[in-house]
Amino acid sequence: MRATVCGVIRTLYREELQATMRGRFAWLGAGVVLFALGGVAAAATQDSWVDGYGIIAYFLVPLAFIPLAASTIASPRANRFVESLFTAPVERRDWFAAKILVLLTLAAAYYIALLPMFFVYVHHVPLPLLLRKFLIWTPWILMASVAIGTLVGVLFIGRSIAAPAATGMGVLLAYAAFVPLQELMVARGNGATPIGRLALLSPAVLLKNGLGFTLVTGTIPATVAITWISVGIVIAGALVIAAWAFLRLQGVETWEATRRQAWGVTIAVGAICLMPVLFADANYDAVAPRPNAAPAIPALFARGNGNFGLTDPGGPLPSRCCGTILNRDATPVGTDEDTKQDLLILLPVEATQTIAALSLRLDGQAGLTVHADPASVVSATGHLEAHAYDSDVGPLASDGHHVRNGWMARVPVTIHPTQPWDIGGNRYPLNIAATYTVDGEASRSLMARTAVNAQVSTGIYEMAVAGSILPILCFAASIVRWRRTR
């Protein structure tokens, strides 16, 4: 008997999966989605890849399976296929199980589609903790999205999929919004307040707490046992309620539940919503692990009011110089290769004074090596450049006034960053100490903890290629499908 049931479900699953992909725009739609993800993956290489691409691919898109599942479950009633289902010699439970398996197959296919970009990433960079957590977070979000979307598709029956699709989209937006809300509440120490607990309504928040990582804030729950129990209740409860309602409480087009059964459905749905809000762990007392190996740099994104900048050899002073990141507005330097640059030193000395001597010490950290030829440093005083500043923006002189027309020293340097911790947005710490002497005065020093922005130089091209393989296959399949059905 069990073998017969499994065989029926296998047959229905195969037919439903083929029917799903036989849609005129199914392959085209899949190609567009994957092409967009590939474009995001390539663009995200210009900064922190895990933060930019990871949030979209591993979090937001999996939540989109909520309206997708809702529409898929509700569509048989909208296109009147359910009339055949209720009169055909096929058990409704077998068809329902096959439909859920199709949704889970689509979810698994999406997860597999992320692997080409992932392999490009780990080819260049050691797997960071945040991406390792994402790899576990995403399949759980996909399962929760399929379960909740199935429940929505069953509850909102009718001759149109507008209601379940719109409800699924609303649930998606709420679940997505609860993630930054929870991060904000925890960062302010209000994670256990009623509003902080309300964010636990989102399975994504529950799973993030259960896996023990954060996106921004610095603390996580000290215990996670009830959190994981809540996750199981939400996923299993949604599927059980959906199956019960579809198999026992609904007819071809309408509900056939008694008042008592209707209240039972309402109470059950409310229970799986309230369980995590009331009981899931919210004791945010443990220190969150670091998402990657990026070094800490104070005032990393500060702009201006510095004395050091980078430019191409012989290039002018950058228009928005000089912040903590020396090459912030320029193309990041490539990792594991030498890059020639000019280090510009804005000396707080009026151009009417004479610089007698200049020395420079460069201390790169976290895998960064910066070398300046000693002879070039010594000869820099003989090639000083005068630079005029706007009012009250020049460097501060020893007496406290802003220099209006001061000296700028140019020192050729070779930059060689290694051991990147991301494919883009690697900000390597660089401690700079410059000592100079003005005629007739004692030596003065300029010291700063700056940063050099670097990236894997071939990352954008490799990501673009990896992200285009599956979309091209999908577009080819859509063309073949179109030619067969035109």
388 and 262 share a domain? no
287 and 353 share a domain? no
Would you say residue 157 lies in a domain? Answer: yes
224 and 270 share a domain? yes
- pLDDT the model gives residue 80: 59
Q: How far does the chain reach from its first CA to its final CA, in angstroms?
A: 43
73 and 133 share a domain? yes
Would you say residue 393 lies in a domain? Answer: yes
226 and 323 share a domain? no
Would you say residue 296 lies in a domain? Answer: no
332 and 481 share a domain? no
Give dist(CA 110, CA 372) in Å, integer. 49
138 and 226 share a domain? yes
DSSP 276-298: HHHHS-----EEPPPSS-PPP-T
- pLDDT the model gives residue 146: 96
Would you say residue 434 lies in a domain? Answer: yes
217 and 187 share a domain? yes
447 and 419 share a domain? yes
Q: How many structural domains is the chain composed of?
A: 2
287 and 362 share a domain? no
pTM: 0.87
- pLDDT the model gives residue 386: 85
Would you say residue 223 lies in a domain? Answer: yes
Q: Is 137 left (phi over 0), alpha (psi -120 to 50) or beta?
A: alpha
Would you say residue 239 lies in a domain? Answer: yes
Question: Which range marks the domain in which residue 56 is found?
Answer: 2-291+461-485
Per-run averaged pLDDT (10 residues), the chain, 486 residues: 69 80 76 84 79 88 93 76 59 86 93 91 91 94 96 85 90 94 92 92 95 91 95 95 89 80 93 94 92 77 73 85 83 92 88 85 92 86 82 70 83 93 90 86 85 89 86 86 76
